[in-house]
Amino acid sequence: MFGELPELPHLPELPERGAGADMIGRSGGLLADLPLELHAGGWRAARRPGRDVERARSFLARDLDALEEHSQGFSGTLKVQVAGPWTLAASVELRSGEKLLADPGAVADLSASHIEGVLAHAAEVRKRVPGARLLVQVDEPTLPAVLAGAVPTASGYGRLPAPDRVTVEARLRELFGALADASAVPMAHCCAPELPLDLLQRSGARAISLDATRIGRALDEQIGTAVESGVGVFAGLVASTGGVLSDPADNVGPVRELWHRIGFAPEQLARTVVVTPTCGLGRAAPDHARAALSACRQAARVLHDEPQR
């Protein structure tokens, strides 16, 4: 990370190591006083911490050791990422077997536990990399399904009711506000084409990460409003799996087209947009991951140089 992305390194997630290194298990290990355990159907609330949570915490501890070793003398923006409260609520089961999302009280408890755990994690990262300015990415890939009432019930034959959007926004605002109060920059990530960009902005996200190759014109106005309010855009432009376009100008095509449609000045593009892979690289082959990160860096240079041509 510090070799390929020296200006914006991040703490990677490596889910192929197994249970506890996955997105839900890793963030579940951060929860305060809300232990989880692994069973055949996935992660479930438990009565007491067990070996599954300890495995997740062990993976993270080793990663933090590596981060501390390779970041000596680093000063700049460092990104860490956690699963968001609504993705956790739609993924973790109650002891009854139903998703935690089905119980508003359980969601409230999860939200409070999540905030406490994320803040403790941010403090630990800051202690190990004291020169870093933290950018905390909150991954909410399941948020569109939550809002649409599309999360399956335990039986699979029904769908859990969508929570009130005011409640969804309030939970996210509590998290983003707590991060901002802790001098971290809150950022939201969702690579679904129907991402609720307006809701994420109102909740206090200061940057939003999206798959720029999948979004349609319907989001142009929301993106324009967000950019005008000072929200940064992390635009997924380089394929996270499969082939990587060799010409950097090809990679930045979707965001140049978006910028033209919205009508912003070209010179604002490089100041506002960060080029990223379209989604996570956790399951990509090492060679592809390295090539994708290199392509992101080259594409960013294209965006930076274009207004001067």
Is the pLDDT score of 307 beyond 70?
A: no
Task: Assign 306 a pLDDT band (cuts: 50, 70, 90).
Answer: low
pLDDT of residue 232: 95
pLDDT of residue 1: 87
Is the pLDDT score of 309 beyond 50?
A: no
Of 8, 131, 126, 133, the C-alpha closest to 74 is: 131
C-alpha dist (Å) from residue 16 to 72, 137, 281, 284: 27, 20, 11, 10
pLDDT of residue 244: 77
Alpha-carbon span 245 to 199, nearest angstrom: 32
Q: How large is the average pLDDT for residues 143-169?
A: 96
For 166-199, the pLDDT digits (tens) are 999 999 999 999 999 999 999 999 999 999 999 9
Q: Which residue has the higher pLDDT, 31 or 49?
A: 31
Of 239, 3, 275, 49, the C-alpha closest to 12 is: 3
Relative to beta strand 36-39, strand 42-45 is antiparallel
pLDDT of residue 282: 83
Q: How large is the average pLDDT for residues 242-266?
A: 84
Is there a contact between 121 and 80 (Cβ–Cβ < 8 Å)?
yes
For 66-115, the pLDDT digits (tens) are 999 999 999 999 999 999 999 999 999 999 999 999 999 999 999 999 99
What number of other Cβ atoms are within 10 A of residue 232's Cβ? 19
pLDDT of residue 308: 42
Mean per-residue pLDDT over the chain, rounded? 93
For 190-246, the pLDDT digits (tens) are 999 999 999 999 999 999 999 998 888 889 999 999 999 999 999 999 988 877 777
Is the pLDDT score of 41 beyond 90?
A: no
